[in-house]
Amino acid sequence: MSSSDSLTITRPDDWHVHLRDGETLPHTVRDIARYFGRAIVMPNLVPPVVTVQDAAAYYERIKREVPEASQFEPLMTLYLTEQTRIEAVRQASNDELVHAFKLYPAGTTTHAEFGIRSIESSYPVFAEMEKQEIPLLLHAEVNTDDVDIFDREAVFIDRHLIPLTRQFPDLRIVFEHITTTTAVQYIEATFDKVAATITAHHLMYNRNDMLAGGMRPVYYCLPILKRKQHQQALLKAATSGNPAYFLGTDSAPHPRSTKENSCGCAAGCYTAHAALELYAEVFEGLGKLDRLENFASHFGADFYGLPRNSDTIKLVKQSWDVPDTISFGANELVPIKAGQQVAFKVVPE
Ligand code: NCD
Ligand code: ZN
């Protein structure tokens, strides 16, 4: 049901989010639990979430922060390391809380130092994932010196993803936070075993927003923002109605002090304060608000083999001001659209 200034949709889920831990957990959980039904929670803590026991303990810490009025359920993931064995895949696939494994090629992004150096050496583990039908979530970038930072995703497809899907045609893969026309073309050619999440910030911005007229750390994330033609391909993909694409914010908080740093700006954009509202702005801008529900609330659950949420939420066209900073434990962070307006708001029904 929709009219020009209000839209009621099935409760959405976020299929890729970083909630962190410790003193920052109350802040991230408060934001994610406002209206999302579920979220795939990334395991890149320090140390990472590698066993079902780690995941259960992290799940409990998250649940403790969920406000009473919210039904939010965290969907846990395990961090694939070079020590991950077949037995761990069996345990994970029999575990109620764990829904996927996450592969970070070593060193590619925040807290990826525990990741995989040789993807081929994990093939026995992928074979078991294929057998157990547990999804593999990919940070699909190479970070070798020979590859330009803007080409990391496209090179990963050629070097690793194509061989991986040939070897394991039934492995369920989520190509996380896609950023390029190459990734879109790849997904168009391969669905239904490979799906993709798309972030709000990769739909809203391109590398000019980050670099032209001065560097803006708030937009620095990995995979890095690409040129406008790639942004346009992502906009087309997200609003196409193709069930291979679904919402994954990759909301990844970092304190202002580690982003606005003379060297080594931390990678990650915070969007959980306004996630669905930002996607709604994007979809409306393209005249495709009617496609938001499938992208935000249906296609992800379908891919993961989970039921769609049974209740609804209401979005209204109502501007509100994003603060310049948000408090974040003992620190503060600068969210996406800091000091600007967002045109939509989720309101009680
Ligand atoms: C993420 C983080 O900060 O944990 N950073 C990012 O730039 N997206 C890690 C990741 O998903 O790459
Ligand atoms: Zn991420």
* pLDDT given at position 165: 96
In this predicted structure, the answer to whether residue 137 has a pLDDT above a threshold of 60 is yes
Residue 316 Cα to ligand 1 midpoint, Å, equals 30
Kindly report, residue by residue over 46-70, the tens digit of the pLDDT. 999 999 999 999 999 999 999 999 9
Closest Cα to atom 5 of ligand 1: 268
- Tell me if 141 CB under 6 Å of ligand 1: no
Percent of the chain at pLDDT > 70 equals 99
Rounded mean pLDDT of 151-158? 98
- Is 27 touching ligand 1 by the criterion CB < 6 Å? no
100's CB contacts (< 8 A; 6+ apart) are: 40, 75, 77, 78, 134, 135, 136, 137, 174, 304
Q: Averaged over 149-174, what is the pLDDT? A: 97
**Residues carrying an active site annotation:** 250
Task: Say if residue 196's pLDDT is above 80.
Answer: yes
Q: Are 272 and 32 within 8 A, CB to CB?
A: yes
Provide mean pLDDT across the span 289-314. 98
What atom in ligand 1 is closest to the CA of residue 222?
7
Task: Tell me the average pLDDT across 68-94.
Answer: 97
Judge if the beta carbon of residue 226 lies within 6 A of ligand 1. no
What is d(CA 113, CA 145) in angstroms, rounded to the nearest whole number? Answer: 16
Whether 296 contacts 279, CB under 8 Å:
yes
pLDDT of residue 4: 62
Among the atoms of ligand 1, which is closest to the Cα of residue 111? Answer: 4
**CB–CB of 171/80 below 8 Å?**
no
Q: Which of 41, 199, 221 for mutating ligand 1's site (highest number of atoms within 8 Å of CB)?
A: 221
Mean pLDDT of 162-181: 97
- Euclidean distance between the first and final Cα of the chain, in Å? 13
| Best of 24, 44, 104, 225 for a ligand 1 pocket test (most atoms within 8 Å of beta carbon) | 44
Q: Which of 187-191, 218-222, 263-267 has maximum average pLDDT?
A: 218-222
Q: Is the CB of 110 under 6 A from ligand 1?
A: yes
CA of 233 to the centre of ligand 1 (A): 22
Q: Please give the pLDDT value at position 262.
A: 82
Mean pLDDT (the chain) is 96
Q: What is the whole-number distance in angstroms between the Cα of residue 169 and the centre of ligand 2?
A: 25
Average pLDDT over residues 100-109: 96
Instruction: Find out whether 179 and 210 touch, Cβ atoms under 8 Å.
Output: no
Q: How large is the average pLDDT for residues 297-306?
A: 98
Q: How far is the CA of 295 from the centre of ligand 1 (A)?
A: 22
Mean pLDDT to the nearest integer, 228-244: 98
The C-alpha torsion from 307 through 313 and 319 to 324, rounded to 10°, is -60
pLDDT exceeds cutoff 80 at 3: no
Q: Decide: 18 in ligand 1 pocket, CB within 6 A.
A: yes
Over residues 309-326, mean pLDDT: 98
Confidence category of residue 179, pLDDT binned at 50, 70, 90? very high
Cα separation, 283 vs 292, in Å, equals 7
